[in-house]
Structure 1
Amino acid sequence: MKDLKFLRVIIFTFFALSVSLSYAAPRETVTTNIAFKTSKGDIIIELYNQIAPITVDNFLRHLDGGHYDGSSFYRTVTHQNDNGSPKIEVIQGGLGDIDKPFPAISHESTNITKLKHEDGTISMSRGEVNSATSDFFICIGSQQGLDFGGERNNDGQGFAAFGKVIEGMDIVRDINGMPSNKKTDNEYVKGQMINNPIIIEKAVRL
């Protein structure tokens, strides 16, 4: 009888400990690291699969299909050449004006993901809400105007952040400072199109 009581105590203690550990240990966030291989060096980015699943899945579908290979960083926005408000500093890359291989995705607002547009944040370019496809940008410095509720877009929905540069911000800043007087008929991006775009030779998972 004493043995039975002792066994019950052990079982209860094990159960209580298991429950305690399950609450105490936070779940590990699922991430994927990728690299943009350029003539200036590699830019390595950590993607937040668990936090922004729709946006990351879309990005990886382009990457895994080889669609970013041979694409480029083609636009640089600085406080000096920005034609919007509030002023931002980013570099933009992706497929540009060519036909998109996949349809647009649903917008994952920073109000949902709780991510912020900080130094090194990668986020999706878009016009209207739910119009993002292949193109993206990387922030230089904190860009709060791009978060949900920011004033960069009239709709106030901000942009869909989904990862962060963990190596190669020196390359990002170098691209941000490149000459950008390439001719364009689009007044909004005038003075921002890089004269000699930086080719993304390969985009790969790590």
Structure 2
Amino acid sequence: MSAFKPFFSLLLIALACLGCREQSNEKLPKAEHPEIAADSQGIRSDSPEAPVEKDTTSFVLTEDNAIDFFFNYQKDLKVNQVRLQTSMGSFTVQLYDNVPYHKSNFIYLTRKGYFNNTMFHRVVPNFIIQGGNADNQQTAQKRKEIGRYLLPPDTRKGHKHHRGTISMPSSEIDNPHMLASPFEFFIVVTDPGSYHLDGNYTAFGKVIEGMDVVDRINQVPIDDGEWPMKNIYIEKAEVLE
């Protein structure tokens, strides 16, 4: 019996680790028309942690103040383009002016440096690439400092999920109204588009330069959880002022 105890303990540890990985890669079942995985904020443990920069400001976004904040933030917002430098090249997105909350949220997070050192953590061939999460403590810390909030869907502005569209996944947190997770985004690569997503997710911009980079990311080898076999980083996101 004494020899069995160490083996049993190791077995329990292995099963626990497997369960953690499956949870962090949670996604909806595959269907005839692929769906968008919710933002699970999952963390894997196979990447080195980057140093965490402490936010010296005390302002934190919440469910109570986020809408008012972004309503005021977008009033004088003159910019609408963001360049994302990835480990596979750079591309530029142009954000739609008539989707003000999602546009201003993306620009705000870019200016806060949130997307720097996050990953394209989900790739579905011939469908989408999804980014804005990472398996390091730095990203979790940045989310905590920025705040915990969701954005209301804004799907009636006439924007369809054409190829190159940037859109927002919903959150998995008690979310019957498909509220958008503010920290993640996905880009459609389907030609001519993935129109079954229309009405369910908020399209808030489009790729205007570097779609070949998006296509290359979509073609990388992936594991069973749709994570790229080699991490693809957003090294830097910057607003084009």
* TM-score of Structure 1 vs Structure 2, range by shorter chain: 0.5 to 0.7
Q: CA deviation at 1:31?
A: 5.7
Moved more, 101-110 or 114-123: 101-110
Residues 93-141 of structure 1 deviation map (CA, whole Å, 9 limit, x = unaligned): 002465323333332332x221110010000111332241201000002
SS at match of 1:193: coil
Measured at CA, do residues 166 and 33 of structure 1 come closer, stay the same or move farther in structure 2, by a change above 3 Å? same
Alignment-mate amino acid for residue 194 of structure 1: P
Which of the residues 120, 137, 144 maps onto 2:195? 144
Q: Number of paired residues? A: 149
Paired position in structure 1 for 2:103: 56
Is the CA contact 2:161–2:195 (under 8 Å) kept in the aligned structure 1? yes
- Residues of 1 paired with 2:104 and 2:147: CA distance? 12
Paired position in structure 1 for 2:72: none
Structure 1 unaligned blocks of 5 or more: 1-29, 80-88, 149-157, 182-189
- Residues of 1 paired with 2:134 and 2:228: CA distance? 12
Paired position in structure 1 for 2:94: 46
Is the CA contact 2:129–2:188 (under 8 Å) kept in the aligned structure 1? yes
Which of the residues 214, 219, 231 maps onto 1:177? 219
Paired position in structure 1 for 2:131: 93
SS at match of 2:230: strand
Paired position in structure 2 for 1:116: 160
Paired position in structure 2 for 1:107: 152
Is the CA contact 1:47–1:164 (under 8 Å) kept in the aligned structure 2? yes
Q: CA deviation at 1:60?
A: 1.2
Alignment-mate amino acid for residue 113 of structure 2: G
Normalized against structure 1, the TM-score is what? 0.67
> Over alpha carbons, which structure has the higher Rg?
1
SS at match of 1:93: strand
Tell me how large the CA RMSD over aligned residues is.
Answer: 1.7
Is the CA contact 2:163–2:189 (under 8 Å) kept in the aligned structure 1? yes
Q: CA deviation at 1:160?
A: 0.9
- Residues of 2 paired with 1:56 and 1:175: CA distance? 24
Percent same amino acid among aligned pairs?
Answer: 34
Structure 2 unaligned blocks of 5 or more: 1-77
Is the CA contact 2:129–2:186 (under 8 Å) kept in the aligned structure 1? yes
- Does residue 126 of structure 1 match 2:188? no
Is the CA contact 2:82–2:107 (under 8 Å) kept in the aligned structure 1? no
- Residues of 2 paired with 1:41 and 1:66: CA distance? 18
Is the CA contact 1:55–1:105 (under 8 Å) kept in the aligned structure 2? no
Paired position in structure 1 for 2:12: none
SS at match of 2:183: coil
Is the CA contact 1:35–1:204 (under 8 Å) kept in the aligned structure 2? yes
Q: CA deviation at 1:74?
A: 1.5
Moved more, 94-103 or 65-74: 94-103
- Does residue 198 of structure 1 match 2:225? no
Normalized against structure 2, the TM-score is what? 0.58
Is the CA contact 1:37–1:201 (under 8 Å) kept in the aligned structure 2? yes
Alignment-mate amino acid for residue 146 of structure 1: L
SS at match of 1:104: coil
Is the CA contact 1:64–1:204 (under 8 Å) kept in the aligned structure 2? yes
Alignment-mate amino acid for residue 150 of structure 2: I
Paired position in structure 1 for 2:209: 167
Is the CA contact 2:153–2:180 (under 8 Å) kept in the aligned structure 1? no
